[in-house]
Amino acid sequence: VNIALDAMGGDRAPREIVLGAVMAAPEYHHTITLVGDPSQIEALLPKPVPRNLVIHPATQCIAMDEKPVEAIRKKRDSSLVVAIEMVKDGIAQAVVTAGNTGAATAAALLSWRQLPGVHRPAIASTFPRHGGFFVLLDAGASPDVDPEHLVEFALMGRAYSERVLGRTDPRVRLLNIGEEPGKGSAFARNTYALMSHYPWFDGNIEGKDLFREPCDVVVCDAFVGNIVLKTTEGVAEFIMSLFREALPKSKLLRLAFLPLLRTLAPLRKKMDYAEYGGSPLLGLNGLCMICHGRSNAKAIYNALMSTQVAVDNKLIESLRQHFAHGQAK
């Protein structure tokens, strides 16, 4: 089995991407194909090169701020498009990228197409919460969806929770602006009505309860999901910056706070997206693991490891069966 890694995508590419692959290689029982500029990639590899790392040349690179559809049409030899085409051709089984999310979503959708029975793909993003974590989807793949599509997201989120995160009978909740059934926009109320036919549905959840109430899968549309993802990031950074400012200015005095800073390590780890191994784009005939644009080597390492779990546990095949049998389950 072969995992295609977009070596040129992300704010810190290719350096951190390649280093992440080097970190993962000793623990990897599949081959990692680094797609991108061979000379830049080679310069970052140790000697001797780990046996399960190979390079596949691609001459172009899609920038983080390029318009997705235009970029993937023009740059057919970009590291991202080449990696995705490798999956389509059966040469690779999954793609890992920290590049332009919109371009990755568009390229994967156009090249792989939806699984039979799935109408819209969704990005499943993992969030920390008190005593665990939950998966939120759609975190940004498909704007402008209908309530029926959120039921698909729920089924995809459940399969991902079971196959990759090891949950048994994952519970699903609908992100809404009130807990009771009649709350929210017309879209939210209609979605609630559809979801309430399923045994795994546990009702609405509000933003303030996301981080404290036990729950495995939270569904919402891509606009709301992306706003939640980015706002969470913004609030956490804001509080951390206030915390840094609250510390004394003198370096000597700061030393006194070192023990506390060390005590806070679990907190930092919990808030650190790099710990969460990327967000899979689900619902297509192939697996694309989308990493934060600012991913460092550790983030790429974790994304490669969870991609391995997804491939080993046949996540895509399980989704295909799920939807082939209809949504009755």
Closest of 55, 54, 105 to residue 80, by C-alpha? 105
**Sheet with 94-97: strands ordered across:** 53-57, 31-36, 2-6, 94-97, 287-290, 279-282, 122-123
The size of the chain, in residues, is: 329
Nearer residue to a copy of itself within complex by CB, 111 or 226: 226
Among 99, 121, 157, 184, binds a copy of itself (CB under 8 A): 184
257 near a copy of itself, judged by CB under 8 A: yes
Q: Which residues are within 8 A (CB) of 208 and not within 5 positions of it... i.e. 6 or more apart? A: none
258 scored as a contact of a copy of itself (CB under 8 A)? no
C-alpha pair distances (Å), 158 with each of 61, 171, 176, 219, 309: 34, 8, 19, 11, 16
In 3D, which of 279, 280, 286, 278 has the Cα closest to residue 110?
A: 286
User: Judged by CB under 8 A, which stretch of 84-92, 159-167, 207-215, 317-325 contacts a copy of itself?
Assistant: 207-215
> Closer CB to a copy of itself, residue 42 or residue 70?
70
Sequence letter at residue 303: A
The smaller minimum CB distance to a copy of itself, of residues 89 and 245, is found at 245
Q: Pairing mode, if any, of strands 53-57 and 279-282?
A: unpaired
# residues contacting a copy of itself (CB under 8 A): 60
212 binds a copy of itself (CB under 8 A): yes
Nearest CA to 141 among 160, 123, 115?
123
State yes or no: residue 132 binds a copy of itself (CB under 8 A): no
Given 77, 196, 211, 325, the residue binding a copy of itself (CB under 8 A):
211
Q: Which of 183, 185, 190, 278 is nearest to 224 (CA)?
A: 185
Tokens of 109: 């959708």
Q: Nearer to a copy of itself by C-beta: 28 or 153?
A: 153
The only residue of 133, 198, 200, 223 in contact with a copy of itself, by rule CB under 8 A: 223
Whole-number Cα distances in Å, 56 to 8, 39, 42, 87, 211: 12, 11, 11, 13, 41
Give yes or no for residue 271 binding a copy of itself (CB under 8 A): yes
Query: Which segment (43-51, 73-81, 217-225, 295-303) binds a copy of itself by CB under 8 A?
Result: 217-225
CB-based burial label for 253 (10 Å; 0-12, 13-18, 19+): exposed
Position among 54, 177, 255, 324 found at the interface with a copy of itself (CB under 8 A): 177
Taking contact as CB under 8 A, which single stretch among the options 44-52, 178-186, 191-199, 305-313 is the one that binds a copy of itself? Answer: 178-186
Q: Which of 13, 154, 175, 311 binds a copy of itself (CB under 8 A)?
A: 175
Figure out which of the listed residues 119, 167, 270, 298 binds a copy of itself, where binding follows CB under 8 A.
270
- Nearer Cβ to a copy of itself, position 205 or 315? 205
d(CA 174, CA 219): 5
Q: Does 105 participate in binding a copy of itself (rule CB under 8 A)?
A: no
| Furthest-apart CA atoms within the chain: distance in Å | 65
The answer to whether residue 119 forms part of the interface with a copy of itself (CB under 8 A) is no
| Least distance from a copy of itself to the Cβ atom of residue 240, Å | 8
Binding site for a copy of itself (CB under 8 A): 65, 67, 102, 128-130, 140, 143-144, 175, 177-178, 180, 182, 184-188, 206-212, 220-224, 226-239, 241-243, 245-248, 257, 260, 263-264, 266-267, 270-271
